[in-house]
Structure 1
């Protein structure tokens, strides 16, 4: 029987009370016997948390009572066992490290494309303006090796801080193309899309909700393989079931690693 509800969510929003917010979130999560990782930074919140469905509902109600998180969108999946060993709430400089301080998603995000629209474009081979669609994977190389969109561009980066340099090296290849950046849950491709717009690529969109939202809404169409996740499930199939069991050696439960989306 499936008992554990896993949620992934992030939001870029100004947070000035990180220490107080950290204590409030940690206290509630421990009270509800939840496990996972929450990162807080001046730019927003990023979380992967798992537990009993009723406890997750109460945890989300607490978060959404804060006006900053009232519209927090959550991606859900289920597992037979708890995929995390402990509950961590950390204060960080960035909720996803890019080392590019000029990128401030809370000040304005790049346009996005919904999963169902993207599937239709991929079905027909072009967007609604007739422009070919190019998929750009913003994840680390080993994640891509678990699965990715068919014919996606993969620059074989080993960490997200390498993305700005890779973009500079390949900028001319993306000009005059409809580029859709994607990642696991949306956070990396959101920063990537903003950077690409700033680098003079106006036709860049981010996949709303990332691969996990795409799986949730349309399944695995135009996607080959699984989606690596940074917890004990290791990877999720397009039906959001865990493909493997046990903690992967590639997925240590470190808050800087286990929270990528």
Structure 2
């Protein structure tokens, strides 16, 4: 019988000057191919971001190699396990930013915004205020389709379609957020780290980022104060607060998230169509690969 933890999945990032990313790309690609790792690695001048999966031995060997570079000696990853390989191929990409915000003055390497650990955030949310008595407001930094899979209760969601929209929309709502303690969050910490720095830069006086994002919150405290699941960018689509894959999936044709209830609709044909693309009038069910 195949082990239910055959594959180790890791996710991690670090903001650090990485001006030889292009030169290192071949080394990353060669080692991962040798170790039969699959997933995506983003190499940028501001650091790296990766999602990889493979055997325990292969993942450990990769991390030893990565951390042998002084810039990544403290590279932290979040781990989960799966019975299946969650990625179909290996991609090592060169990008301008780890996550596109189009705000070149934001340099997390030079200093993070204050962060809040999941256990402290849970205590604040239990109380309804922070340690100074200020009301706590959760601020989404993810795209709308991710939010629809699950989010913190009573969160502010500006329904952005891409992260580069966040600076403008948060500035437009600055006045209504005065006097509150704001906590930005995202899946794993990258977007909320940049978002919190930007908010500090434009004058928000009490803003934190959720350290490690939703996935770290799930790992440390579970699903308290959270509704639904957490969207992830691999075949699992969504994880529950126990970090287990759920029945939620994505439509191959239109990439919409399809809930278990929606999968019961006649329009849902795995790999071809779903209620979302049928409603939009774009049903490629006969021609989709």
1:209 aligned to 2:212?
yes
Tell me which stretches of 4 or more aligned residues in structure 1 moved more than 4 Å.
245-248
1:234 aligned residue = 237
Change (3 A) 1:32 1:48: same
Of 146, 150, 161, which aligns to 1:147? 150
Matched, 1:65 2:68: yes
Q: Which has the higher contact order (CA 8 A, sep 6+)?
A: 1
Cα gap change, 1:76 to 1:248, in 2 (>3 Å): farther
Q: Does 1:2 align with 2:5?
A: yes
1:42 aligns with 2:45: yes
Change (3 A) 1:176 1:61: same
- CA distance 1:22–1:248, shift in 2 (3 Å): farther
Give the Cα separation in 1 of the matches to 2:29 and 2:8: 18
2:238/2:249 contact within 8 Å kept? no
Distance (whole Å) between structure 2 residues aligned to residue 244 and residue 53 of structure 1: 26
| Structure 1 residues 185-207: Cα deviation after superposition (integer angstroms, max 9, x where no partner) | 00000000000000100200000
Correspondence list, 1:234-253, <5 A = 234-244=237-247, 248-249=251-252, 250=255
List gaps (5 residues or longer) in structure 2.
258-289
- How far the C-alpha of 1:245 sits from its partner, in A, is 6.9
State how far apart, in whole Å, the 2-side matches of 1:200 and 1:171 are: 9
Where does residue 201 of structure 2 map in the other structure? Answer: 198
Paired residues for 1:1-20 under 5 Å: 1-20=4-23
- Aligned partners of 1:245, 1:154: CA distance in 2, in Å? 21
SS at match of 1:181: strand
C-alpha change, 1:19 and 1:7, in structure 2 (3 Å) is same
Aligned to 1:37, the other structure's residue is in SS state strand
Report whether the alignment pairs 1:161 with 2:155. Answer: no
Between the aligned partners of 1:19 and 1:226, the Cα distance in structure 2 is 36
Q: TM-score by structure 2 length?
A: 0.85
In the alignment, the residues of structure 1 paired with residue 121 and residue 188 of structure 2 have an alpha-carbon distance, to the nearest angstrom, of: 15
Greater Cα shift, 122-131 or 243-252 = 243-252
Distance in 1, Cα, partners of 2:185 & 2:131: 19
Give the distance between the partners of 2:182 and 2:93, measured in 1 at CA: 33
Aligned equivalents of 1:251, 1:49: Cα separation in 2: 23
CA drift of 1:248 comes to: 4.5
Deviation at 1:24, TM superposition (A): 1.3
**Structure 1 Cα separation of the partners of residues 224 and 91 of structure 2:** 35
Q: CA deviation at 1:8?
A: 0.6
Deviation at 1:20, TM superposition (A): 2.1
TM-score (norm 1): 0.93
Shift of 1:244: 2.9
The structure number with the bigger radius of gyration is: 2
SS at match of 2:173: helix
Report how far residue 251 of structure 1 moved: 7.7
SS of the equivalent of 2:170 reads helix
Matched, 1:129 2:104: no
